[in-house]
């Protein structure tokens, strides 16, 4: 990629944002599929994808966890634990955690299959990378993860 003079390479900018207001949850499970597809397509095109929100703690983390769940075999708690290794401040609020749990129990398996059918095999080493992150969790947190 050509350099822009800053510390960041020049990138193509695309946006996708579910509507939101501070008083109602905006990442309902229905938004996961659109956001996950956007992230996956961006990565497949070699563009990468920056997922952000105001603080980078709850909303954006929720979408990254949902994406990681979809492209790996991880459940929501393992995916969140892997994200926390890379971003220790990651802490989706209780409502978003419930939505991740709902996504895992009600739609995840079907969506994983649809994604595989549409995009074929995942060319990235997401599963291996996530599992490597999980090995970096201190043993007390690992113990807590296994018993939740």
Catalytic residues, by residue number, are 53
User: Which DSSP symbol is given to 124?
Assistant: S
Cα 51 from Cα 35, distance rounded (Å): 10
User: 29: burial class by Cβ within 10 Å (0-12, 13-18, 19+)?
Assistant: middle
Quote the tokens at residue 57. Answer: 């703690």
Cα 69 from Cα 100, distance rounded (Å): 9
């Amino acid at each position: 990629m050509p350099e822009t003079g800053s510390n960041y390479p020049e990138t193509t900018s695309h946006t996708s944002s579910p509507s939101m207001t501070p008083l109602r949850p905006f990442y309902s499970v229905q938004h996961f599929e659109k956001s996950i597809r956007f992230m996956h397509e961006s990565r497949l095109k070699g563009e990468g994808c920056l997922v952000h929100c105001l603080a980078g703690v709850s909303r954006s983390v929720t979408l990254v966890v949902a994406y990681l769940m979809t492209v790996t075999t991880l459940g929501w708690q393992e995916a969140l634990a892997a994200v926390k290794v890379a971003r220790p401040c990651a802490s989706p609020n209780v409502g978003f955690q419930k939505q991740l749990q709902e996504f895992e129990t009600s739609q995840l398996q079907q969506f994983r299959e649809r994604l595989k059918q549409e995009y074929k095999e995942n060319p990235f080493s997401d599963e291996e990378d996530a599992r490597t992150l999980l090995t970096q969790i201190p043993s007390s947190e690992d113990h807590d993860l296994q018993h939740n």
